[in-house]
């Protein structure tokens, strides 16, 4: 069972900049819009939202450079939006409409754009990111490969192969673990023995942990270690976070009261308790933008 705290117990230490908060709210509005469109029968297939975890890619993007590579996973809309600020192209991709990032063939999970790549296959991106990191070490010193995974991915052998190579070869590999405490419908305590910190230590890979939802605090914590990654010291950065939505679009097996508790402890509730008027203003703008994007994209022809 996940533990929760009242929002006033852990208010953000600093108010995020408008740009950061607007991006977090845009990601949330985008994910909520996807669930709405599914409910109206306007989308096919499936989707995995990052509701509750929006602050992580926003915080990380502030530490990344344009020349870095980003590898995402099945729950990657926030990663893409933080990197490219492109809700139009992403929604068009998911809906298979004109203007789609990958011509409508990648859908929700499999997207490639410039130095960004996502995949729905658990653990697949880690060895690929290692190969890219090796190239960057040789050809583009100072650039890194950032790969997002979840706690459930630690059941895949590719994770350990990648950590082994990254450590042995001194690769500029940044592994961001979004540990939301549940893998599809299985609590982490039921599928993961030991700890993620212990796994990083086994390969002599530096490790950082945070349960903060404060974007500036996260950046301050991780900035020195991320700079060390650029010099060839790989890093595992674990975020203790919350998944507020279902695994996919409608398969949440958790009790409603548990999800409600997570919501009360999340970044949105904490921001609402601290600066409600500012949050309301920026959220209205984010929702209006996403509504306009959805209206535009749904009116387009097929890609």
Q: What pLDDT score does 243 carry?
A: 85
Beta bridge partners of 17: none
Q: What pLDDT score does 11 carry?
A: 53
Q: What pLDDT score does 181 carry?
A: 82
Number of residues that make up the chain: 303
Q: What pLDDT score does 12 carry?
A: 52
What's the CA gap between 225 and 230, in Å, rounded?
Answer: 9
What class does CATH assign to 15-297? alpha beta
Model-level pTM?
Answer: 0.93
What's the CA gap between 103 and 117, in Å, rounded?
Answer: 15
Which of 3, 5, 2 lies closest to 270 in space, CA to CA? Answer: 5
Q: What pLDDT score does 112 carry?
A: 97
Q: What pLDDT score does 1 carry?
A: 37
Pairing, β 112-113 against β 182-183: unpaired
What is the mean pLDDT of each successive set of 10 residues along the chain, which is 303 residues long? 42 82 98 94 88 97 98 96 98 97 95 96 94 98 97 94 98 97 80 95 98 96 98 98 80 83 90 95 98 98 92
Which of 253, 213, 271 lies closest to 57 in space, CA to CA? Answer: 213
Half-sphere exposure of 245 (CA within 13 A, CB side): 21
């Amino acid at each position: 069972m996940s533990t929760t705290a009242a929002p006033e117990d852990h208010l953000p230490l600093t108010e995020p900049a408008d740009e950061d908060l607007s991006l977090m709210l845009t990601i949330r509005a985008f994910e909520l819009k996807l669930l709405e469109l599914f409910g109206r029968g306007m989308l096919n297939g499936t989707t995995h939202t990052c509701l509750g975890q929006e602050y992580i890619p926003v915080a990380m993007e502030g530490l990344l450079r344009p020349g870095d590579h980003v590898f995402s996973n099945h729950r990657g809309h926030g990663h893409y939006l933080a990197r490219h600020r492109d809700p139009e192209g992403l929604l068009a991709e998911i809906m298979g409409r004109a203007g789609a990032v990958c011509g409508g063939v990648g859908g929700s999970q499999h997207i490639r754009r410039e130095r960004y790549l996502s995949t729905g296959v658990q653990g697949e991106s880690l060895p690929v990111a290692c190969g890219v990191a090796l190239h960057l070490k040789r050809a583009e010193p100072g650039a890194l490969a950032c790969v997002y995974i979840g706690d459930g991915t630690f059941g895949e052998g590719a994770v350990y192969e990648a950590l082994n190579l990254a450590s042995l070869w001194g690769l500029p590999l940044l592994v961001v673990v979004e540990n939301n405490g549940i893998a599809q419908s299985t609590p982490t305590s039921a599928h993961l023995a030991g700890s993620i910190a212990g796994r990083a230590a086994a390969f002599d890979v530096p490790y950082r942990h945070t349960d903060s939802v404060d974007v500036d605090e996260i950046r301050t914590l991780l900035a020195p270690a991320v700079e060390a990654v650029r010099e060839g010291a790989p890093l595992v950065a674990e975020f203790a976070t919350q998944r507020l939505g279902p695994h996919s679009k409608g398969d949440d097996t958790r009790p409603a009261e548990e999800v409600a508790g997570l919501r009360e402890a999340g970044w949105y509730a904490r921001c609402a308790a601290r600066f409600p008027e500012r949050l309301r203003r920026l959220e209205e703008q984010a929702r209006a933008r996403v509504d306009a994007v959805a209206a535009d994209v749904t009116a387009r022809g097929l890609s």
